[in-house]
Structures are given as structure tokens and as C-alpha cells.
Amino acid sequence: MSFIPISVMDWKEKNVFITGADGFIGGWLTKVLVEKGANVIVIVRDMKKKSALDLHGIKDKVTVVQGDIIDYELVLRALNENDVEYVFHLAAQAIVGVASRSPLSTFESNIKGTWTILEAARNVSTIKGVIVASSDKAYGDQDKLPYTEDQPLLGLYPYDASKACADILARSYVKSYGLSVAVTRNANTYGGADMNISRIVPDTVISSLQGKELIIRSDGTLERDYMYIKDAVDAYLTLAASLAREDIKGQAFNFGAGKPVSVLDLFKLIIRLTGREIEPKITGKATNEIDKQYLSVEKVQRLLNWSPQYSLEEGLKETIEWYKEFLANNC
């Protein structure tokens, strides 16, 4: 399926600052903005052996600032010296299991990192807009499904709570200082070049392609909303292109497919698409997991005219092809 982005902003020669560009979603966003002719500045704390910038072949096409997003003076200098117009703040400790084991480092990265970016942005005159990545996990466990943006943020596990805090901080900078900010609350995002192999899609796809045992760590009944990475990138660009509108500033938006899928059904679809015939082993050992989480996308459809362009099957087909090629070239 061809990828036709909804975003209509001309990004050519725009100065864009991205945190988390060496990660999965940030790497894809950086790739697309580079292809659109933007001048992209990224901040990277640890130079990985092979980051998303390497996987996409764009490391030499961006300006890399080495340092930590919690370093206010460094961030401020990077924004000022590069006349940054738009900030996409995606950097976070994003693995739920790691967050549960290491809450302090998670809070420092996800909460302090967010207020540092926001405070620096409000003190730079060239800034036109800031997009802050929250998460559907910020909603926590709710009685009402699907989640709508007017529901309270009840995230109580470390990762969920950190995203709820970042979400509120971001919107407070609009109310308190007039900074042009909007928040994304994305569904589980999947696609090629996700090297956090503990995540369900890359783990299942790679294991299936390599003929390994497929293990479901939950009981298989957990339901989630899954969004393909190309739809996620288009969501970020569509929202950023709309930040000049007064009815968009300070708003949070759900981006997802709007369709719950059980873990077991996801496994079965991947197994079918990879051509395997095997029943996954269900261990039921996963903890700190909410039973059902999925999003209403009515608000983004109404205000931004945005809808996902990929079905789950279409997105998984492209994902599987990406990992097939990656494994063929690296194993």
C-alpha cells in the first residue's frame, strides 16, 4: 500500500528539533522529515552501536547534539543556535517492564526531561510549536471504553504515571505561558526498525520468521489498540501542521486504529502472515498490565481530518517484510 500522508505543511528548510530520534518512532519521524527537506537537529544521550538513525541511513543527514534532555543549558543552546521552529519531544524510557524495575530513572527521563524541553522552548523566540508524546497508558485503568480525551488521567504504574505527568506538564505550559503545545496519546505503535525486541510485535515477528517458540507472557486476553508506524508519523506531522490554530493549542489527541485486538488474535495474525503453523505457548506471567486499552479517534477525525491509512494486516505485512530483509542482511 502506498503511503500518502495527510499532513500538508511544507517542511522544506524548516528547522526541527527531535528528541528520541535514535529510537523507533523518533527514527521514523526523523527519516520522513529528512526526506521532506527539513533541517533536523537531534539530541542523543548514548551513542548506540546501531541506532534508528543508522538503520534508516540518515545519521549523516541530521545535526547530532550529544547530551541528555535533562540538561537545560544544553537543550536551550541547541534550540537557539539552530533557530529551531518545531520541537517533537519523543524521548522517553518507553519499556513498561523496565519502568517497573527502575522507576527513578524512568521518572527522571520521562518527567524531568519533559519539563526541561518545555522550559527551554518557551525561552526561544523562534519556536512555533511543540509536540509532546504522551501515551494511551496515561489513562490508566478506566471503566469507560474506548478512551476519550476528556477522561481523567489515572495512570498508576511507573510508566503510566510518568506519561500522565508529562502530559499535564505539557498542557500547563499552554495555559501558563502561552507556549504552542499539543499532546499525542498514541496507541501501541508497531513497524519495522523497532529494535526493542521485548515488544510484542517485533518479538513475535522475529521469533516466527526464525522458527522459534512463540511465547505469550500474558494470558492472551489483553486487548490493545495497534497503530502502524507510518500512520503514527503522519499523526505527528498532521498535528504539528495544525498548531497555528487556536482550537488545537493545549489539546491532547488520541491517535490509533480505534479497534481493540487481543494479544492472542495478534499472535495468530502474525503467525498466518509469516506462513507458520504453530500454537503459541501462553505463560500468563505478565504483571502490571491493564486488561483492556483502546482509543476513540473521533476527535482527531473531527478536528484534524485524520484517520489511519493502514489496516492491521496491511501494516503487519510491511513490518514482516522489513524484518525479513533485516534478518537476511544481518544474520
Q: Show which residues are catalytic.
A: 159
CB contact set of 194 (below 8 Å; sequence gap of 6+): 24, 201, 202, 229
Q: Could you tell me the three cell numbers for 82?
A: 539552530
Task: Find out whether 65 and 109 touch, Cβ atoms under 8 Å.
Answer: no
φ, ψ dihedrals at 278, nearest 5°: -155, 150
φ, ψ dihedrals at 160, nearest 5°: -60, -45
Q: How many CB atoms lie within 10 A of CB 331?
A: 8
Task: Find out whether 241 and 33 touch, Cβ atoms under 8 Å.
Answer: no
How many residues are given for the chain?
Answer: 331
Q: Is 306 helix (H, G, I), strand (E, B) or coil?
A: coil
Task: Find out whether 22 and 45 touch, Cβ atoms under 8 Å.
Answer: no
- Sign of the four-CA dihedral 309, 312, 317, 320: positive
> DSSP label at 68?
-
Strand positions, DSSP E, the chain? 15-19, 39-44, 63-66, 86-89, 129-133, 181-186, 188-190, 215-216, 223-228, 252-255, 260-262, 281-282
φ, ψ dihedrals at 326, nearest 5°: -60, -45
Q: Could you tell me the three cell numbers for 115?
A: 519539563
φ, ψ dihedrals at 281, nearest 5°: -90, 125
CA distance 90 to 19: 5
